[in-house]
Amino acid sequence: MDLDSLVATLDAIAPPSLADPLDEGRIGLIYRGKEEARTVAVALDPTAYVITEAVRAHADVLVTHHTLIWDPVTKILPRFQKELKLILSNDLSLYVLHTNYDAAPGGVNDTLATLLNLRDIVPLGIGRMGTIDPESIVTLAERVARTLNTRVQFAGTGIARSVAVVGGSGFSMAEECIRAGADVLISAEWKHDIIRHVQGRLCLIDATHYATEAPAMRALAERIGGVFIDDPPHVQAASTAMSR
């Protein structure tokens, strides 16, 4: 496959029109390297580890969920110098699908909802909401931890029947979830004030940024015949702290 054909395929999977305006200029083909797309690597973050592994796999293209450079560049900062050198020196094309893939059918949040066995799944902003058999918050949190193979934190008590999921940093959608009738919101990167704000109205489960989004990138790799590159645990922790 040539690069333009791959871009067209990815644009069809996660149409750029679905992206949040904040993503303008930060998604799609970020760097055009080789014109071939014979081997495609897929990962959550374009870390130095991921790029190195993509090069080692002889990838022509790296597809990630998070972009390499978020803010406009006025100087080449040390935190992405190594990544830039690796991409440019190996002529590795970089394609990013972010909030458009969060919202897309079969994307981040559909994958997460399906993994957690939600039924009657409906859109909720970029997130999803569905139902489960009645389950205590403690039991649900334990199941989320096992399913996503991650540590979790939870707040609240009671029985969950209606569950909202927002992969990545999505606790800002708490009020929307409450209005939609959710008992619990599963997302990542909560702040202390959100717990106090929704206390008694919505239970929260924080399942980490990486664990709530990486499954969808693994699914994307399978969908396009690519190679998924999973960051090692210590890199996952660092990227979780830095991701938006």
What does the pLDDT profile of the chain (244 residues) look like in tens digits?
999 999 999 999 999 999 999 999 999 999 999 999 999 999 999 999 999 999 999 999 999 999 998 887 788 878 789 999 999 999 999 999 999 999 999 999 999 999 999 999 999 999 999 999 999 999 999 999 999 999 999 999 999 999 999 999 999 999 999 999 999 999 999 988 898 999 999 999 999 999 999 999 999 999 999 999 998 765 565 444 433 3
Query: Domain 3-102+212-242, what fold?
Result: 3.40.1390
Q: Give domain limits for the chain.
A: 3-102+212-242, 105-207
H/E/C letters for each residue in 120-141? Answer: EEEEECCEEEEEEEEEEHHHHH
Query: What are the counts of helices (DSSP H) followed by strands (DSSP E) for the chain?
Result: 10, 11
Of the candidates 79, 84, 39, the residue with the CA atom closest to the CA atom of residue 63: 39
Of the candidates 82, 20, 83, 16, the residue with the CA atom closest to the CA atom of residue 244: 20
pLDDT at res. 216: 98
pLDDT at res. 239: 45
Question: Helix, strand, or coil here: 99?
Answer: helix
pLDDT at res. 236: 60
Domains 3-102+212-242 and 105-207 share a fold: yes
In this prediction the pTM is: 0.92
pLDDT at res. 238: 45
Structurally, at CATH architecture level, domain 105-207 sits in 3-Layer(aba) Sandwich (3.40)
pLDDT at res. 242: 38
Rounded to an integer, what is the distance from CA 147 to the centroid of its chain? Answer: 16
> Residue 159 and residue 157: Cα distance in Å, rounded?
7
